[in-house]
Amino acid sequence: MDTLNYISTLLADMLEAGDAVGFTFFTGYMSMFAASVFFFFERQQVDGKWKTSLLVSGLITMIAAVHYYYMRSYYLGVMAENPEATMMEASPTQFRYIDWTLTVPLMCVEFYLLLRPYGAKAGLMWRLILASVVMLVAGYIGEAIQPDQTILWGIVSTAGYVYIVYETIAGSVKKLADASDNPDVSRAVTLLRNFVVVGWAIYPIGYMLMDGNLMASLNTSLNIDLIYNIGDAVNKIGFGLVVYSVAMNSTKREATA
């Protein structure tokens, strides 16, 4: 415990006043940790068929919280050693993509869990997971391994994203949600779809802005980690809250029926 207190104090001392990026690393970590505790405890309040969905919601934010703990340490360590470090040098890219590779497929699983009682097959879940993995692996290669091929890998990554968007807007996810007789499920799928279309769009935009030439042409010093940190917290906690809402509403409706 003394060691943890020492590390926490050291990290707090490293956080400079006015460091908005460092601030969002701390708040991202704590908000997603708190969300995990909330989802795990509230899991006991919902009907049995919703427990797995809330468990996954808690796992998503818990995995993210652990990675944010390490990401904030990396970022603050780099900035402490070199306050003039560039955005790319200070960005914890490896930790971020490990986090995304675990949490984004789980977010895709949420669609399947919501729609499983209404005919969703395991094949839909695996297609969504595969598309998310393609999106993330290609993004990582283009951002960290072959930055000279950013556009090529960006196209591959975007293809995975577009497929997920298609499934939620016009594909099997949309059709199953429309055919379900549960208005709460239909509303939840619509809200989750909005997160995918709007909230997830921040990631391909951030990927494109990581290209130095594009950043220079836009004449901006925008820090992408700031956008990623806020986007992660909103998307992951928001996903879980949507699932929690539909689970509670459905449980209450069935209890009074």
Q: How far apart are alpha carbons 223 and 158 in whole angstroms?
A: 21
Three-state DSSP class for 21? helix
pTM: 0.88
The pLDDT confidence band at residue 39, using thresholds 50, 70 and 90, is very high
Mean pLDDT of 8-12: 53
Residue 1, pLDDT above cutoff 70 = no
Q: How far apart are alpha carbons 253 and 256 in whole angstroms?
A: 5
CATH classification code of 2-256:
1.20.1070.10
In sequence order, the 6+-apart residues with CB closer than 8 A to the CB of 31 are 233, 237
Q: Which residue has the higher pLDDT, 104 or 79?
A: 104
Q: For 182-236, how does the pLDDT look when each residue is reduced to its tens digit (9 = 90+)?
A: 888 888 899 999 999 988 888 877 777 665 554 544 444 557 888 899 999 999 9
DSSP labels, 151-167: HHHHHHHHHHHHHHHHH
Identify the pLDDT of residue 81: 82
Residue 107, pLDDT above cutoff 70 = yes
Identify the pLDDT of residue 19: 80
Q: How far apart are alpha carbons 27 and 21 in whole angstroms?
A: 10
Tell me, rounded to whole angstroms, the distance of Cα 11 from its chain centroid: 24
The pLDDT confidence band at residue 147, using thresholds 50, 70 and 90, is confident
Identify the pLDDT of residue 131: 96
Residue 8, pLDDT above cutoff 60 = no
